Amino acid sequence: VPGDQLLNTLLLNNFNSIIPIKWPIDLPVAPSPTWSLYQSNKAEFNWRYRSSTGSTLAAIPSTLGYGYPSQNTATNTPVNGINTIPTGRLDGQHQWNFGAITDHPSSLNTNVILAAQSVTTNFRIAMTPSWNPNFTSAVVQVSITSINSFTSIGAFMFRLCLIEREIHFTSPPGNNGQMHFYNMVRKCYPTTVVNNSVTQIGTTLPSIWSPSQTFTFNINCNIPAYIKNLSEMAFVGFIQDDGDRQIHQSERTLPPSIPNDLSVVSVNIPVNCNAVFTPSLCINNLGPVSVNAFTATPFIDGIPQPAYIYTSALAANATATITLPSYTANYGSHVFSISISNVNGTDINMSNNSGKTVFGISSMLTSSLISQKFSSFPPSLWYVLNYDQSPPSWGYSSVGGYSTTGGSAKYDFYNNLNIGDVDDLFFPALDLTGVFNPTLSFDLAYAQITNENDKLELKISNDCGATWTTLFSKQGSALATAPSNSVSAFVPNTSQWRTETLNLSNYSNSPSVLIKFTATCDYGNNLYIDNVNIIDQNVINSISEKANVFIYPLPASDIIHIMGAQDKNIEIYNTLGMRVLYCELDNTNKIHVNALTNGVYFLKANERITKIVIDKK
């Protein structure tokens, strides 16, 4: 999510001036039944942001919360409870108290952070966590010291949060497309629960303090099983006056040092034109000691393969790339995954011991040319690489190009919240030996919602995918074939299609050519592709929509009328350049085409070629 990336950069640049924590909440709606960070601990998160008098939202009418006031600017009317996202607080106060324009995190900047940091505080906090051997629990010793006399306005609380500094997913865990999270609250200590609802979080402190007074206590913390990476855990504690919700001091701990902590950084498979492939594995030793052995178990589409035993030394904090043995897979798309175990005999932090990637095996088409109408999906020998392995992606639509065929390939930008998501639709591998003037054409239809820049590219490679050349790239309004549609998902009518034609002559006579459509999501409306044709222009010399004969009706179903043809010999070719009909035009000036199936053809008359469409509906 671009806004969150900018915020994370700002927070990192001000690491010594601010301690950030982020609370996931269910606004506008919870991503149910999908698992998400919010769903993992929603009772505590609900209490933290909701109204103290009962929510006014219909979906959550009875749950009471902490009662932070929503007031985006100083001129807005306050509302009990957070009611918009994202919303930010500095030291429990409105951001605009420190010079920000609004409470939106985008209003935060370094000057605002420094203004909040400059406010003096009466307290110091020291926190020392003691972890059990398996890092499933910790005892945090907290020592709070008052510098001067102090009396709180309301209940004076110390609140302790377990955060994960970084959380990375390969596909979005929720429904907003976000895969990378920073400084997320995962659990709070201690928590008071009544009738399955959280009524308080924190430890009650004395409300009256004298100079140099110290208050020391321990908090027992069970670590939840849903923590994704133990080595990213940290505790953040803060003192908060519930009378005005001001935070008077905060502190954070360092992450624990996990022994024998080996992390899978990435899994890579070079592009390959045959069924044999050789993956590589990048690993990082996050632990404090050298790793001298581990077991890597690979899986192809979930089926385990023979284990690989690593016996070299990998120093602490070192990274290494390991080439695994070669494996074999059938043509099409696949998932290759790896699981690490037996790291120096044991690995406590198993949450980062796996990785996966998608890859494809292209099969050579028996014909050098293509005529694809997408009557099914994916067509034979075609395949999709969905890199985040999360829907939506390329799929089937019953809407055909120019409404003349029974199907098309559809990319569902409309329901894809993952901005920047990239998915590829691969053609079969082509042998263009003997094809000296190849031309590729396809029909497309697309609409924006407002001004999104969804992108479609067509890329080609003649070195088995080691390098790709982009032959077609359009996005946003340049890609659109219809007006913007903010009301519903775009479904094209007959007039909302456009035909694109690309010259492939640079790849003529190439023995192995890979081609793919690449869709890049910007959360606009839907894209459709149909009638993908690769023809040899030496067979069909030109395609002219304005031939010097008059042909009607188009599309045709069973009869075509041809006016102005001086040569009475009429020929019709399919998109592969094969002649499928020959006849002599009689005095009625019409020919019967009822034997032809629906699709695109080329009619030759007067030594000119006219593109025609057969549609029997």
The answer to whether residue 62 scores a pLDDT higher than 80 is no
Number of domains in the chain: 4
CATH of the domain at 296: 2.60.40.10
Are 172 and 83 in a shared domain?
Answer: yes
Residues 6+ apart with CB under 8 A from 72: 84, 87, 102, 103, 104
The answer to whether residue 365 scores a pLDDT higher than 90 is no
Are 89 and 37 in a shared domain?
Answer: yes
201 located within any domain: yes
The answer to whether residue 416 scores a pLDDT higher than 60 is yes
Mean pLDDT: which of 449-453, 555-559, 610-614 is highest? 449-453
Are 595 and 506 in a shared domain?
Answer: no
425 located within any domain: yes
Last residue of a domain, one of 311, 328, 361: 361
CATH of the domain at 503: 2.60.120.200
Q: What is the pLDDT of residues 434-490, one digit of tens each?
A: 888 899 999 999 999 999 999 999 999 999 898 999 999 999 999 999 999 988 999
Instruction: Over range 350-363, report the average pLDDT.
Output: 89
Residue 289 and residue 258: Cα distance in Å, rounded?
Answer: 10
Are 407 and 279 in a shared domain?
Answer: no
Domain of residue 571 covers 550-614
Q: Residue 233: what pLDDT?
A: 96
Are 453 and 505 in a shared domain?
Answer: yes
Q: Residue 542: what pLDDT?
A: 44
Are 85 and 132 in a shared domain?
Answer: yes
pTM over 0.75: no
Local confidence band at 79 (pLDDT 50, 70, 90 cut-offs):
confident
90 located within any domain: yes
Q: Residue 123: what pLDDT?
A: 98
Task: Report whether 418 contacts 507 (CB < 8 A).
Answer: no
Residue 294 and residue 343: Cα distance in Å, rounded?
Answer: 4
Are 144 and 201 in a shared domain?
Answer: yes
10 located within any domain: yes
Q: Give the range among 68-72, 161-165, 233-237 with minimum mean pLDDT.
A: 68-72
The radius of gyration of the chain from alpha carbons, rounded to an integer in Å, stands at 32
544 located within any domain: no
Residue 156 and residue 205: Cα distance in Å, rounded?
Answer: 5
Q: What is the pLDDT of residues 95-153, one digit of tens each?
A: 999 999 999 999 999 999 999 999 999 999 999 999 999 899 999 999 999 999 999 99
Last residue of a domain, one of 512, 536, 560: 536
541 located within any domain: no
The answer to whether residue 389 scores a pLDDT higher than 60 is yes
**Residue 521: how many CA atoms within 13 Å on its side-chain side?**
26
Which tokens sit at 505?
A: 């002559």
Last residue of a domain, one of 233, 252, 271: 252
220 located within any domain: yes
Dihedral sign from CA coordinates of 286, 292, 298, 304: negative
Are 53 and 170 in a shared domain?
Answer: yes
The answer to whether residue 59 scores a pLDDT higher than 50 is no
Percent of the chain with pLDDT over 70: 93
The answer to whether residue 180 scores a pLDDT higher than 70 is yes
Are 277 and 420 in a shared domain?
Answer: no
Are 166 and 311 in a shared domain?
Answer: no
The answer to whether residue 56 scores a pLDDT higher than 80 is no
Are 554 and 469 in a shared domain?
Answer: no
Q: Residue 61: what pLDDT?
A: 41
Are 164 and 91 in a shared domain?
Answer: yes
